[in-house]
A and B are shown apart, each in its own frame.
Chain A
Amino acid sequence: MLFNSLEFAVFLPIVFLLYWFVFEKNLKLQNLFIVVASYVFYGWWDWRFLVLLAFTSLFSYGSGLLIEKYRDTPRKAKTVNVLNIVVNLLILGVFKYYDFFATSFANAFLGGKTDGLLLKVILPVGISFYTFKALSYSIDVYRGKLEPTHDVIQYLAYVGFFPQLLAGPIERAMNLLPQLAKPRSFEYEMGVDGMRQILWGLFKKMVIADNCAVYVDRIFSSYQTQSGSTLLLAAIFFAFQIYGDFSGYSDMAIGVGKLFGFKTMRNFSFPYFSRDMAEFWRRWHISLTTWFRDYVYIPLGGSRCSKAKIVRNTFVIFLVSGLWHGANWTFIAWGAFHAVLFLPLILIGKNRKYKNTVAEGRLLPSLKEAGQMLLTFILATIGWIIFRADSIGQAWDFMRGICSPSLFSRPDASGVTGFCLAIFVMLLVEWLLRDREHGLDLSGIKSGAVRIVAYLAVLFMVFALGGHAVNFIYFQF
């Protein structure tokens, strides 16, 4: 079920009313209702994969209990933890990566013959997201950072929590389980903010991402015949498409969570206002970045080790992050590209230089800040070309096409006026509210009438500029 679908527009109010008016009195029932609603939500796409979701959840739940049981025999606890990691990664590997590696193997050693080698299974939507949730739980229990829950319903609700099920944020059990364990009451301010965030997410998805998608798909499918300027425009639009698509989904997910009384983690923090790539990675897909930091990077030694190991660790985290996005060499190359950009900053110790909000307390950035943001955006956009291309060869040809003399010709900009205006509006609004959680956090505006006019304006843009619905990019991951 898509957040921007009619089904969800019916599903959400029904679930909301039942949740607060029928099941409110009994916490167990309320959590059970979350599980049922989440499984209906997921099963709407393909009910057969509910088995996989339930298995992943129950296996990691059982692992948590066993790790607790073997607390005094660390070797056994470690075995259970490793087993949980292996089983979950095996499932992920079979469904997501097996065909990719089998094809690569066949290309390298069997002359490209893949007869009988491929599984050709459907990739279950959201598998990377809920698998990572399940992994973090057992690892945290093993590390003693989290007490395992003995309430299976609570745990099923954590892994299957429908707002985050398909494309994150990859919530930590440490944050969500305690919220599931205590009675919840509806908070007016949080509910209103949730609605605003949903609306902002809809705007970013339907107006920015869906419109950019049409242009980007057209140009990428005929890149050989396009001018350099048109290719550059398509690359820039893809940067906004993926931002609008994924951060829009995250906003909707977080907003829906708020309606049900849950404060979930932030996933995007205006990444295109970053002054260097290190800051960009602190603001982009935060839940995944911090996941890899906590469960891969730091266990490898992080940045508190020799320079050679720092280089190794940085590459490992970015390559794995690239691979997480999909089974294609382009994603691995995208990860490597970012590792190369990130490495100098960490080696000279400037990777945590910009931790505050850009131009804090000022309306406009300084010239230096503007230049830094522009450069970071350009670098990110080069990365997005690799990410979006079907192959590394296509990415290379695309970039060569941009660097051709036709870069200075007039680009094919037919039909882009409307959504260029929308991108401008988004950037302007997000710039003005860059110290807030999302672009429609208007809690600072006292006048109710002004707020209503702002909501109506956003709704009007969703209606008048909304493109034809395109699937969320991150569903494929």
Chain B
Amino acid sequence: MKKFLLKTLGFAALVLVLAFGLDWLICRGLLKMDDYRFRDYSAMLKGGMDNDILILGNSRGKSHFDTRVIDSLSQKQSFNLGIGGYPINAQLLKYHLYREHNRKPALIIQNIDYMTIRVMSDIRHQHESEQFFPLVYDKVMRKELRESGYGFLELNMPLYRFFGYQQVIKNGLMEALHIKHYSRPSYKGFLPEIGQWNGSELARMKPENVVLSEEGKALFEDYLAQCRADSIQVVLVNSPLYAGAREKLLGYDDARVYFEQVAEKYGCLYFDYTDTPECQDTSNFVVSVHLNDRAARAFSETLMEDLKSRIIIE
């Protein structure tokens, strides 16, 4: 029995050591990939990013705010921290990582919409949740991940969080071992939606209540208060949404009232583009909630003009 236990423990120790090494190697590979899911994080973790303007939001934030246009029209450096499929708590997780390692921005353009003011209490196994895997090595992020559903095992047991993510494991290893380089780049975080209008998504969309959860509101307002304390100007932007989709969002006007009130309370500017003529035209959209590349460029130009007119940007 003694021999059995000793050999079993020895083997388990060997497996544990190798698992730690493999975990580190895969994470290193992922962060080396030129892939929008990981590129933002590797840049942020390296530190030294020097952006005047940050864009925060979900997939609409990621695909509507063209950093090429914003850089060019503002003559300043911008970066898009949009995170597809996630509400405010995950958006702030990414922002906190940015702030931990990089200089604070002067201006934040915060995309707000029907999905923003809620909290996703568990970010594991969600859309592209593999983007969080390498963050367990960052002290501050460990705390944030714990608050967002990561348990003891995800945070401390090597490789545990990778189970079932075969492609991610393969990509990370191939990249780390220099066997293959993966490239799905974004432009400074901006990820344009390429494609033609596809109405099937709208046809499937069911009427949905706009949720403004109390937890989400508290988190959102804490963040706005902190920005004000840090002298960071925040602009709340409700970016274009196809009119047909808006009709299916119940309680949409209550949300707009909330955004107006909160903007006033925390000294933010508030722009709402969901009533513009562009929102009536399907040729501007790929799906009802995502502008296409061309329309995103035009929208970003409009936004920059509006910001200039309010003397936010010279």
Give A residues with C-beta under 8 Å from B.
6, 20, 186, 188, 191-192, 195, 418, 452, 455-456, 459, 463-469
Contacts and interface: CB of A to CB of B under 8 A. Distances in A.
B164 A468 contact: yes
Contact of B11 (A186, A188, A455, A463): A455
B129 to A, nearest CB: 13
B1 A20 contact: yes
B291 interface: no
Contacts of A465: 166
Contact of A456 (B18, B162, B163): B18
Given A186-B4, A191-B4, A418 B15 contact: no
B143 interface: no
B170 interface: yes
A94 to B, nearest CB: 38
B11 A6 contact: no
Closest 10 CB pairs of A and B: A468-B164, A186-B1, A191-B4, A464-B169, A188-B4, A418-B166, A463-B159, A466-B163, A188-B3, A465-B166
Interface in B122-143: none
Interface in B218-248: none
Given A452-B11, A466-B164, A468-B164, 9 more contacts: A186-B1, A186-B4, A192-B7, A418-B166, A456-B14, A464-B169, A465-B166, A466-B163, A466-B166
Interface in B3-31: 3-4, 7-8, 11, 14-15, 18, 22
A452 to B, nearest CB: 7
Which of A195, A464, A467 gathers most chain B CB within 10 Å? Answer: A464
A467 B162 CA distance: 11
A464 B22 CA distance: 11
A463 B153 contact: no
Contacts of B7: 192
Nearest to A192: B4
A21 to B, nearest CB: 8
Nearest to B18: A456
Given A455-B11, A456-B15, A464 B4 contact: no
Interface residues of B, number: 18
Contacts of B8: 195
Tell me which of B4, B163, B164 has the highest count of chain A C-beta atoms within 10 A of its own C-beta: B4
A455 B15 CA distance: 10
Contacts of B22: 463
Contacts of A6: 153
A20 B4 CA distance: 12
B199 to A, nearest CB: 21
Contacts of B166: 418, 464-467
A463 B172 CA distance: 14
Given A464-B166, A466-B163, A459 B3 contact: no
A452 B163 CA distance: 22
A460 to B, nearest CB: 8
Contacts of A20: 1
Contacts of A455: 11
20 contacts: A6-B153, A186-B4, A188-B1, A188-B4, A191-B4, A192-B7, A418-B166, A452-B11, A452-B14, A455-B11, A456-B15, A459-B15, A463-B22, A463-B159, A464-B166, A464-B169, A465-B166, A466-B163, A466-B164, A469-B164
A422 to B, nearest CB: 11
A195 B11 CA distance: 12
Nearest to A188: B4
A468 B169 CA distance: 14
B16 to A, nearest CB: 11
A452 B15 CA distance: 10
Contacts of A468: 164
Contacts of B18: 456
A467 B167 CA distance: 11
A350 B135 CA distance: 64
Nearest to A462: B163
A445 B153 CA distance: 35
Contact of B170 (A192, A195, A464, A467): A464
A192 B15 CA distance: 16
Nearest to A195: B8
A456 B10 CA distance: 13
A284 to B, nearest CB: 29
Interface string B149-166: 000010000010011101
A5 B124 CA distance: 18
Contacts of B163: 463, 466
B218 to A, nearest CB: 33
A327 B22 CA distance: 46
A469 B125 CA distance: 13
Nearest to B8: A195
Contacts of B159: 463
Contacts of B164: 466-469
A443 to B, nearest CB: 14
A455 B3 CA distance: 18
A90 to B, nearest CB: 42
A398 to B, nearest CB: 27
A459 B15 CA distance: 9
Contacts of A191: 4
Q: Among B1, B22, B162, B170, which residue has the most Cβ atoms of chain A within 10 A? A: B1
B310 to A, nearest CB: 49
A362 B153 CA distance: 47
A317 to B, nearest CB: 40
Contacts of A195: 8
A469 B166 CA distance: 13
A270 B18 CA distance: 32
Contacts of B14: 452, 456
